[in-house]
Amino acid sequence: MKRKKIKIGAIILLAITIVMFIVSAFPFYVVLINSSKASLEIVDDPLGLPQRWGKLIENIKEVWSRPSVRYSSSVLSSFIITTGSLLAITVFSAMAAWVLVRTKSRASTLIFLLFIGGLIIPFQVVMFPLVALFRNINEFLGLRMLRTYYGMIFAYMGFGAPLSVFMFHGFIKGIPLELEEAATIDGCTKLKLFFKIIMPILKPIVVTVVILNAIWIWNDFLLPSLILGIGNEIQTIPLAIQGFAGSFLKKWDLIMTSVLMAIVPIVIGFLFGQKYIIKGMTAGSIK
């Protein structure tokens, strides 16, 4: 009787897993099949298989070469912004978390709580004050923040820091303090201690933080539309995709193809880093 209950439970779990997989994979199926169709074919039958799979190559060529959209330059801009933001978020968040963990005071606890508070503030509440702040920085300091790479990187660093600091904070608490004391006795400076001792230990959580933030930054539309604006020389992939959707005509075949092209780098990065994501999410101490 007990074995029968276990078998029924396993079947139910398998059925739930299959349903969840279908639900999760369905958007990818829609994007893939519609990337291999013409626009009218998508309108007629958006869920049917394409008549000619070779249309995908033609759509890719058209997306890449269309001068009005500048998709190729948007890929470079997205790469620069994503890479710069990830580097800033990872290094500064790890530094901040390390200092907060090793500094035992009320001030460090308060600062950590402020970081946690940043997780519950909706972006929509601060997006217009952020634009106003960037304009004031330009007016009073002469430092142009809007429509620039470093303005985007600075904004992403601010919005990505709360979750990253929280994740690093929990991981660093499991690192033995004796390890740092021994390195200090051997003559390590604080900077050398962090980059030579702490950062290598943080590898699992670093990969987790990088991939989670990369997915968000690479696919984000709202923040780039506010900081960079529409039609700017610097534009990310989501802004470029909007160029295929006009007021009276939407090129669904090119929209789906450009979305598919944008998905591929993230999927590849996730597949290579998934084992580190699991370690980073579950690990709270080191052996």
* pLDDT for res 282: 58
Question: Residues 195, 182: contact at Cβ < 8 Å?
Answer: no
Span 73-116, pLDDT tens digits: 899 999 999 999 999 999 999 999 999 999 888 898 999 999 99
For the chain, the helix, strand and coil percentages under 3-state DSSP, each to the nearest 5: 75, 0, 25
Please state the pTM of the whole predicted model. Answer: 0.87
Question: Residues 79, 150: contact at Cβ < 8 Å?
Answer: no
Question: Residues 280, 207: contact at Cβ < 8 Å?
Answer: yes
Look at 57-71, 196-210, 241-255 and tell me which has the smallest mean pLDDT: 241-255
Q: 247 pLDDT exceeds 90?
A: no
- Can you tell me the distance from the alpha carbon of 184 to that of 199, in angstroms, rounded to the nearest whole number? 16
In the chain, the amino acid numbered 36 is S
Q: Kindly state the average pLDDT of the residues 161-187.
A: 89
Span 232-246, pLDDT tens digits: 788 999 998 888 876
Question: Residues 138, 146: contact at Cβ < 8 Å?
Answer: yes
pLDDT band for position 2 (50/70/90)?
A: low
What the chain holds in terms of domains, given with CATH numbers, is 60-282 (1.10.3720.10)
Three-state secondary structure of 162-196: HHHHHHHHHHHCCCCHHHHHHHHHCCCCHHHHHHH
Span 23-53, pLDDT tens digits: 988 988 999 999 999 888 888 888 888 888 8
* pLDDT for res 4: 64
Q: Supply 211's token pair.
A: 């991939």
- Can you tell me the distance from the alpha carbon of 237 to that of 259, in angstroms, rounded to the nearest whole number? 9
245, β-bridge pairs: 250
Q: Supply 54's token pair.
A: 């070779």
Q: Kindly state the average pLDDT of the residues 199-220.
A: 91
Q: Kindly state the average pLDDT of the residues 172-196.
A: 88
Three-state secondary structure of 250-268: ECHHHHHHHHHHHHHHHHH
Q: Give the residue from 32, 30, 12 showing the smallest Cα distance to 20.
A: 12
Q: How long is the chain?
A: 287
